[in-house]
Structure 1
């Protein structure tokens, strides 16, 4: 019989346990990335197989990520009841169920059923994210939180580089371009047969993914990860026990504004990764050639993470890194819109603007890592509910790609990238001003400077 996991106070974990826990949670972030960034291939894949418009194809991202908004608060209540580890196990099992739904979806070529499977995977991922992000935030010194998030980001994006390449290797064939070109001339029965064969290729990889997720659920349950008691982590935060925690968290401006920042950040990040295959296709690149561009974008993001791990906090503070990345996002957005001209890079002949979409990966690298510790700073015992609010911000992944798809259908793929500008402008606001607010007024809070908040507010 397994011994129950030890429950410890946040900030009181030994160095040995902290590093071992970071290693395990890093593995979780690898799984998050693998499941999440597969969408970069699924979007153009379903667009062909189910004969969709750009807007309809981005319902893949909507169905996957809207579950974060739906499940964030329930996830926090679940974790409060079950603890981190049991909650993570439930999250893995839920994701496995979603993966298995792909089997009847492919057999019937029913797009709505695929969306249900993606939504179910998203529910499980929402539970895991609600547990893992605050866990890594409090698993060590506050001033090194962005550094730990950078390590998690490397795990996540490394999986993101591999996922679309592996899935593409399994489901794409060299003859697919010819098949797509011949579709308009086929009879209805010939087209159905060709598309049925095309879509059924997703069954084997998703059956394997489902089995792996079930196994991981059992493994994380019996792992030596400590349970961290966050309910008693900060008595300096006054509470009114007669009021709901869900209501209480809205008195923290840095948290609420941080959740909005997460909304814009993740939406911009997913647009950069999930639209780049379609944008490359508009430059006459085949799907088999364009499939590598999400990996290029995520590799650029990993480069940013490596810089973060190296430079934070000795050379540059996590706040300054956040400010630099948000401003780079603004600059690269303008370059995507206004630069023209063909270049040959890494064997690809494309418009130069495509490579600025790739470089958005670098701009996005330290934003997630910078937002979480700033938004959760000072929320004390509300950290689980606060994390749930932050996870609700991940609905930006669901909504903003749809906005991009709408404008791509009504204008063109390049013009649709204007949606990124307000996203990065808000992030610049939060990185320079919004995170310092401690009360809902137009002036900054005059809270005393302590070693804890001084390490974050540089």
Structure 2
């Protein structure tokens, strides 16, 4: 694990000198699962767009409902975690996510797009609770200095999930759907994959209910304790929340439109099931970049690495907009490599020095994941009006802000402390 080199550090021991490696290893399974589930949306979008005959804006309601849950559930989730602790938050999150996956079965059976959207909302509510519990837990399991590196490493397993999901999703959902004749049947190709996910999530919930994870007193409030101030007074947290908003928005927008982009005649002219398999390179790049980034950030300041990666992502998207064919295709896929460290780095930089405001700060940051609902919807409107390729100008704006945050906005500074 990223922090194993520091396990001798006195901050990295708890409960009679045990280190945190086991707790971190357990948490990586969670990161893998929610990466896998979130990325299946990129397969659902072109699939349900065809099944229900939707335009780009309507099909982006999938991301709107999924990431909208972050906006509505994050702050209540932050309060719940503050009361019950990180471990119980993780268990409850897993059970809610399992319920959401289960709802895909009736949605496909009655062939209802609104029911699919409802299932996605419930699923995302569970994942929101997981994010609010697990992300700060990882940053607190060890020395502050290597928090970015540690969260980047566990997020590497999140990226492993997003790498495997498009390929399996293309085989299990799109290939099966194209081999069936009636449109009514094609919606049902999602039933078995999501039932399997339900079982896996419930199994994980049982495991986390029994695990003995370290209890972190310093980040949880005691009963009756009055907390002075608020996480909102930290400028670097507020700017970090905007960073998470535009980052998740850009990452999700790109992933959501890749299958459509690769279907364009002057890009690659690929069939949906074929194009979906290329998504593996986009998310695979993010995985490779996270493991590399975890190592780099042991040596180089996290903010500088963030600014460099955001600049590279902007350049690659510009190449995609201005060219065609294989050059346009591979340059947009390469953006994944530079996306890699952005989420965990912005997250840990924004939580730096929040102390007992950490769980509230984490709720604020997870609230900002709503960028994944709003930015793709805006890009959908752009794609309907100026075309899929030109619509990629929107993520360039997002990465510009991230570069600013890495260099300037992430410097810890509270407004009135």
- TM-score in same-fold range (> 0.5): yes
Out of 251, 254, 260, the position equivalent to 1:269 is: 251
In structure 1, the residue corresponding to 2:387 is in which secondary structure? coil
Rounded Cα–Cα distance in structure 2 between residues aligned with 1:331 and 1:104 = 44
Rounded Cα–Cα distance in structure 1 between residues aligned with 2:361 and 2:55 = 37
Q: How does 1:140-159 map to 2 (within 5 A)?
A: 140-159=142-161
- For residue 258 of structure 1, what is the aligned residue in structure 2? 240
- For residue 315 of structure 2, what is the aligned residue in structure 1? 331
Rounded Cα–Cα distance in structure 2 between residues aligned with 1:292 and 1:423 = 26
1:303, distance to aligned residue in structure 2 (A): 2.1
Q: 1:414 to 1:177 in 2, by over 3 A?
A: farther
1:439, distance to aligned residue in structure 2 (A): 4.2
TM-score (norm 1): 0.83
Q: How does 1:300-449 map to 2 (within 5 A)?
A: 300-314=285-299, 316-340=300-324, 342-343=325-326, 352-436=327-411, 438-440=413-415
> Is the 1:272–1:297 contact (alpha carbons within 8 Å) kept by the matching residues of 2?
no
- For residue 90 of structure 1, what is the aligned residue in structure 2? 92
| Greater CA drift, 93-102 or 304-313 | 304-313
Rounded Cα–Cα distance in structure 1 between residues aligned with 2:388 and 2:220 = 50
Which structure shows the bigger proportion of residues in helix conformation? Answer: 2
Rounded Cα–Cα distance in structure 2 between residues aligned with 1:27 and 1:384 = 21
- For residue 194 of structure 2, what is the aligned residue in structure 1? 206
After the TM superposition, which segments of 4 or more aligned residues of structure 1 sit over 2 Å from their partners?
9-17, 171-175, 230-233, 240-243, 309-312
RMSD over equivalenced CA pairs, Å:
2.2
Out of 47, 52, 71, the position equivalent to 1:50 is: 52
The structure with the larger Rg is: 1
- For residue 72 of structure 2, what is the aligned residue in structure 1? 70
Out of 78, 81, 84, the position equivalent to 2:83 is: 81
Number of positions where the alignment pairs a residue of Structure 1 with one of Structure 2: 401
Rounded Cα–Cα distance in structure 2 between residues aligned with 1:131 and 1:437 = 23
Rounded Cα–Cα distance in structure 2 between residues aligned with 1:293 and 1:153 = 21
> Is the 1:13–1:140 contact (alpha carbons within 8 Å) kept by the matching residues of 2?
no
1:403, distance to aligned residue in structure 2 (A): 0.6
1:11, distance to aligned residue in structure 2 (A): 5.4
In structure 2, the residue corresponding to 1:292 is in which secondary structure? helix
Any idea what the Cα deviations from partners look like across 1:361-380, whole Å, max 9, x if unmatched? Answer: 01211111221221111211
> Structure 1: 5+ residue runs without aligned partners?
1-8, 180-193, 234-239, 344-351, 448-458
1:214, distance to aligned residue in structure 2 (A): 1.4
Q: 1:381 to 1:418 in 2, by over 3 A?
A: same
TM-score (norm 2): 0.91
Q: 1:225 to 1:31 in 2, by over 3 A?
A: same
Any idea what the Cα deviations from partners look like across 1:215-263, whole Å, max 9, x if unmatched? Answer: 2111111112222123469xxxxxx9486x6xx2211100011001000
Rounded Cα–Cα distance in structure 2 between residues aligned with 1:87 and 1:274 = 29
